Structure 1
Amino acid sequence: MSPARTVLIVGGGVSGNALAVLLRRSGVEVDLVELSPDWNVQGSGITLQGNALRVLREVGVWEEVRRAGFGFDTLGVVAPDGTVLHVAEDIRTGGPDLPATLGIRRPDLQRLLTDAVRASGARVRLGRGVESLTQDGDGVDVRLTDGSTGRYDLVVAADGLNSPTRAAIGVDDRPEPTGMGIWRVTAPRPAGVERTDLAYGGPAFIAGYCPTGEDSLYAYLVEPARERAELPPSSYVEEVRSLAAGYGGAWKEIAASVTDPSLVNYTWFHRLLVEGPWHRGRVVLVGDAAHACPPTLAQGAAMSLEDALVLAELLTTRTDWDEDLLTAYRERRVPRVRLVVENSVRLGRWLLDGVRDADVPGLIGRTMAVLSERP
């Protein structure tokens, strides 16, 4: 009997964790290394569309995600003063048996995925990264930052937007800011908030919120990107409250609850799509290491999860782990990912440029129709 194949996954975020579970289910030996000693358990909230939930069901954590999060099927568009202008039925991109959208606290999603990785039997090493990679035709020799070494049939770079592994293997693509920044905050869920409502205009480009559980909510305000040096953490509460003061409805209660700067996060929107091969030899990119987009379509995590699903399917159904397999993985993913990246950026560009006759519903509808198909 031939020995089990071995994979090193670099990065324990959404795509890395999902891939570890899917590969272990088929008997692949998996090591997962994550630089963060706490395994990335921080964060505010995340919005997951149905196609992301479909992958989480394949991973085996859907029921736990359903119980921890808050699912809904409509999207509200409101005026800055809180007046409801339109309520749309969302497309169930994951199929009729999954909600169109689910909000969940990022730490809760991460905990459920890391529990699944542990239960799968993957070997997890936290607080460590990759120091060096040396390849030949049969495998990859890896040295970690703690001095330990190993040899693997495949290395998967799931180490995020600024992936050191991507740079180490000579992929020169880098993320580019799109000109927008986003404030994110965790807050108690006001009574009556049972879906995402988006306000366009007012002090911010977008003011929105998403219920993430029975008692919690994730709120966000999108503005022109500002230098982070101008925004010390001590100012975060004041900044959010100042922007939120321009909105009515649930925002009054949300703003009043924002008192702890540690629960507020500020980041820029970025665009990334690696245009050439997503692999070099036996090292391959997944998730944000290969592509990233503004959250204007709420598809970033979904695209990363789909990467994990497609790569796992190819690795566990093909005999040869070769150039053709890794090329097929990229070719299967690029059209779908490109659609999401370009349309996510386009939505943001319309806001930055003040385009008033943009067909936002049409663009979203066409994108979601494509994403309803399996990846």
Structure 2
Amino acid sequence: MTAVQKVAIAGSGVAGLAAAIQLAKAGVEVDLYEAKPELSALGSGISLQGNAFRVFDALGAWEDIRDAGFAFEGLNLRAPGPDAPIVAQLPDAKSGGPDYPASMGIPRAALAQILLEHAERAGARVHFGKKITGVDARANDAVEVYVDDESAGEYDLLIGADGLNSAVRDLIGIETKPEPTGMGIWRTFVSRPAEVERTELYYGGPVYIAGYTPTGEDTMYAFLVEKAEDRFGTSDEEATRIMLEESRAYGGPWNSIRADLEGGARANYTWFTQHLVDTPWNRGRVALIGDAAHSCPPTIAQGAAQGLEDAFVLTELLTKRNAVDETLWDEFHARRVPRVKTVVEASVQLGQWQIEGNRDADTGGLFAAVARRMAEPV
């Protein structure tokens, strides 16, 4: 007997789809509502680490995801300049344990499609172009969910996994919202030169960080992290021009990236944000997970992994307990909030050191401390 028999989920990101897969596999009736008209995966690629792979394995999706991405070990640091010499080769901690690679890059669209297929195969009903616009939790054991201003019926639980600008978060009166950290990032999806076999980062030059991560045999995504600017509404042509100009201080594989940009590869821009909703993340029978509950700069590449872990822990409790009660919520928060707080604070700190130009910061020590924590069972 599971603690829930019918659950609504808002959002088709990795956290929402992971929750849908696990609940549907356990025989729970699941309706996932996505406001966008189709599956959307903003950006170009995503970096993932071993603790995310553990969750994918539990979902039954690891082999498909592994085959669609590019697994690698280690991290290269290069110097700016025309020759872009490699100045350090750093090992990666295997936060998922010895059975998984240390890191992997994968196109966001491919990851989203794989998770969607697994959710539907498990029996979840996915509704695109349907926005949750209201909740009524009058009863202690149910919540009425409104979709496009009409009742979609009563559910045992509503999971708000609808991202940074969560509508569900607003509907239940949580005022915590993402705040800019002072950094912005340009991303583009390009071809992978054969010499790029792992993530490579360049520190110094006109931007805080320049880098790229392989996502497949022939693909990778490249990025430039700069001081946050009002780049929103920039035309495609202007976005390409800015990324080309800001990258000219970096040689090596950046020459290939610039050739792809000149050939039509598109650039997109977002700001880094941070937030962490205070405990509790639920209001009665409505709960937040993933970016709805927390966000951080991708300086440690743990944002998606934390959303996946949220979904894994919550669904584990819901499918192994007999009731949705305070004991369940207390365990959920005890297992998630301290771990997420570690990631958010460390990610923000790494970015702040870059903004301040702090050359004495113990960046390696902070990376190692977080990796050790992520290697612990969730």
Short-chain TM bin:
over 0.9
Q: CA distance change for structure 1 residues 138 and 4 in 2, over 3 Å: closer, same or farther?
A: closer
Uncovered stretches (5+) of structure 1, i.e. residues with no partner: none
Q: CA distance change for structure 1 residues 167 and 49 in 2, over 3 Å: closer, same or farther?
A: same
Q: For each residue in 1:284-320, what CA deviation from the matched residue of structure 2 results, as whole angstroms up to 9, or x when unmatched?
A: 0000000010000000000000001100111011111
Uncovered stretches (5+) of structure 2, i.e. residues with no partner: none
The separation in 1 between residues aligned to 2:340 and 2:331, in whole angstroms, is: 14
8 Å Cα contact 1:41/1:111 also seen in 2: no
Query: Cα distance, 1:233 vs. partner?
Result: 3.1
Aligned to 1:94: 96
- Equivalent of residue 109 in structure 1, options 102, 108, 111: 111
Q: For each residue in 1:145-164, what CA deviation from the matched residue of structure 2 results, as whole angstroms up to 9, or x when unmatched?
A: 06352110000000001101
What letter corresponds to residue 278 of structure 1 in structure 2? W
Matched, 1:303 2:327: no
Q: For each residue in 1:207-237, what CA deviation from the matched residue of structure 2 results, as whole angstroms up to 9, or x when unmatched?
A: 0100000000010100000013473333111
The separation in 2 between residues aligned to 1:26 and 1:345, in whole angstroms, is: 37
Query: Cα distance, 1:4 vs. partner?
Result: 6.7
DSSP 3-state at the match of 1:12: coil
The separation in 1 between residues aligned to 2:47 and 2:292, in whole angstroms, is: 20
Identity over aligned pairs, percent: 49
- Equivalent of residue 221 in structure 1, options 210, 221, 224: 224
Aligned to 1:26: 26
Matched, 1:282 2:285: yes
Matched, 1:45 2:45: yes
DSSP 3-state at the match of 2:213: strand
What letter corresponds to residue 134 of structure 1 in structure 2? D
Matched, 1:133 2:109: no
Q: For each residue in 1:84-136, what CA deviation from the matched residue of structure 2 results, as whole angstroms up to 9, or x when unmatched?
A: 11101100101101110000000000010011111011111110111211011
Q: CA distance change for structure 1 residues 336 and 67 in 2, over 3 Å: closer, same or farther?
A: same
Paired residues for 1:1-375 under 5 Å: 5-81=5-81, 82-135=84-137, 136-145=139-148, 147-229=150-232, 231-259=234-262, 263-375=266-378
DSSP 3-state at the match of 1:272: strand
The separation in 2 between residues aligned to 1:201 and 1:3, in whole angstroms, is: 52
8 Å Cα contact 2:19/2:311 also seen in 1: yes
The separation in 2 between residues aligned to 1:184 and 1:2, in whole angstroms, is: 42
The separation in 2 between residues aligned to 1:86 and 1:233, in whole angstroms, is: 35
Query: Cα distance, 1:327 vs. partner?
Result: 2.9
8 Å Cα contact 2:3/2:319 also seen in 1: no
8 Å Cα contact 1:183/1:240 also seen in 2: yes
TM-score (norm: length of structure 2): 0.96
What letter corresponds to residue 121 of structure 2 in structure 1? A
Q: CA distance change for structure 1 residues 262 and 248 in 2, over 3 Å: closer, same or farther?
A: closer
The separation in 2 between residues aligned to 1:261 and 1:316, in whole angstroms, is: 48
8 Å Cα contact 1:4/1:27 also seen in 2: no
8 Å Cα contact 1:130/1:144 also seen in 2: yes
Q: CA distance change for structure 1 residues 45 and 87 in 2, over 3 Å: closer, same or farther?
A: same
Query: Cα distance, 1:2 vs. partner?
Result: 10
DSSP 3-state at the match of 2:154: strand
Runs of 4+ aligned structure 1 residues displaced above 6 Å come to 1-4
Q: CA distance change for structure 1 residues 73 and 38 in 2, over 3 Å: closer, same or farther?
A: same
Query: Cα distance, 1:275 vs. partner?
Result: 1.5
Q: CA distance change for structure 1 residues 353 and 274 in 2, over 3 Å: closer, same or farther?
A: same
CA RMSD of aligned residues (A): 1.6
DSSP 3-state at the match of 1:254: helix
TM-score (norm: length of structure 1): 0.97
